[in-house]
Amino acid sequence: MMFDFLQPLSDDLLIDIHRVSNQALGKKTIFHANHETPVLQEDSIAIIGVLDNRGLKSVDSCDNLNEIRLQFYNLFPGNWNAAIYDLGDIIQGSSIEDTYFVLKTVCAELIKKRIIPIIIGGSQDLTYAMYRAYDNLDQMVNVVAVDSKFDFENGQNTELADSYLSKMIVEEPNNLFNYSNIGYQTYYNSQEEIDLIEKLYFEAYRLGEVSHNTTIAEPVFRDADIVSVDMRSIKSSASGNKKPFIPNGFNGKEICILARYSGISDKISSFGLFNHNNTKEEAVLISQVIWYFIEGYHYRSREYPIGTRENFIKYIVPIEEEELIFYKSNYSERWWIEIPHTNSSNKLKRNTLLPCSNEDYILATQQEIPNRWWKAQRKNCI
């Protein structure tokens, strides 16, 4: 049973949490406590801590995530109706693979129940375990990483948190359809890594691009299953984390916007925040990032245009030898572009519509093929 793997919250922590205002989240969350196992409802949210930082040696070992929880449960909810659970912590296994196995098992069980796990704590290589939770769900997986690096590194002294993406690409079963990076900084990535992103038809958006216009990231999140946030993608002046010192990165407002985009996405079914030091200053920001994800979740439109498309306007744009077909929602005014299924298609089984932006439609009317459409086409034929 899943709860056999989860350490309940301590009585002392629960006493502190229950001191919050009657309107605060601490009074509206269902906790996994000693002798009290919650009964889980579908279409809800579950917070899980992972006390294993071995994938990133530069981060201190993690004994608890109390500071993040105290900050989060002091916040007030929005107009929320979904149940929120705190299922406690996954403790460090005998080996890192043991921790992966437990996290994979817990996430898989929650996802099958349509419960979104929010993973806090631990090093970012735990994203690999989240990805493996989809192995038995018979679907290709799209991963979005908010990160200053691609985590492709492959060297003798490479840390697991900086190389997990290589494992996801190479190891069987290979369920990875697309990887997208939001906020990479060129000087942290070798030219070989940048070239590999292009060769695999993955997507990458530089920090400056996204900071200048955060809306370009929204269609990317709309097509994701997993979102993994590296807290080192946020500059130290915003996060309070000065180990290591990070002069450039997202600010607090930007990372909360990206978290809200993640929550709004109808497709995202797991969300993780990694590589943090669990300091009081950083815990304040992490608690707000979680808040914005849950806020976004409550604004999901459930409008992915499959089956009936009566609430969508269809636009056909002739371009070169192609006809690009766009759909615009009458409800949210969001856009999708159709990816035609071909006999050579060996990956794209369930998605024939790719989220895009109004700018992609405008480009198409100017006879420019949108980059996202082109990459999705090429990946589908590999």
**Long-range pairs for 370-374: beta carbons < 8 A, 24 or more residues apart:** 370/324, 370/337, 372/203, 372/219, 372/337, 373/324, 373/337, 373/339
Question: How far, in Å, CA of 156 to CA of 67, rounded?
Answer: 35
pTM above 0.75, yes or no: yes
Question: How far, in Å, CA of 186 to CA of 166, rounded?
Answer: 19
Residues 233 and 146: beta-carbon distance below 8 Å: yes
**pLDDT tens track of the chain, all 382 residues?**
788 999 999 999 999 999 999 999 999 999 999 888 999 999 999 999 999 999 987 666 677 899 999 999 999 999 999 999 999 999 999 999 999 999 999 999 999 999 999 999 889 999 999 999 999 888 889 999 999 999 887 766 678 888 999 999 999 999 999 999 999 999 999 999 999 999 999 999 999 999 999 999 999 999 999 999 999 999 999 999 888 899 999 999 999 999 999 999 999 999 999 999 878 899 999 999 999 999 999 999 888 766 677 889 999 999 888 899 999 999 899 999 998 876 554 555 544 789 999 999 999 999 999 999 989 888 776 6
The neighbour count for residue 66, using CB atoms within 10 Å, is 17
pLDDT at position 57:
77
Q: Both tokens of residue 205? A: 């958006």
Question: Which fold, 2-297?
Answer: Arginase; Chain A (3.40.800)
Q: Both tokens of residue 27? A: 């009074």
pLDDT at position 303:
84
Cα–Cα separations (whole angstroms), residue 129 to 92, 121, 139, 335: 14, 14, 16, 32
Assign residue 26 a region: left if phi > 0, alpha if psi is -120 to 50, beta otherwise? alpha
* Domain range summary for the chain, segments of one domain joined by +: 2-297, 312-381
Largest CA distance in the chain: 67
pLDDT at position 351:
46
Question: How far, in Å, CA of 222 to CA of 234, rounded?
Answer: 22
pLDDT at position 311:
86
Strand residues in the chain grouped as ranges (E): 29-31, 44-51, 84-91, 115-120, 141-146, 176-184, 203-206, 226-230, 270-274, 312-319, 322-329, 335-338, 353-356
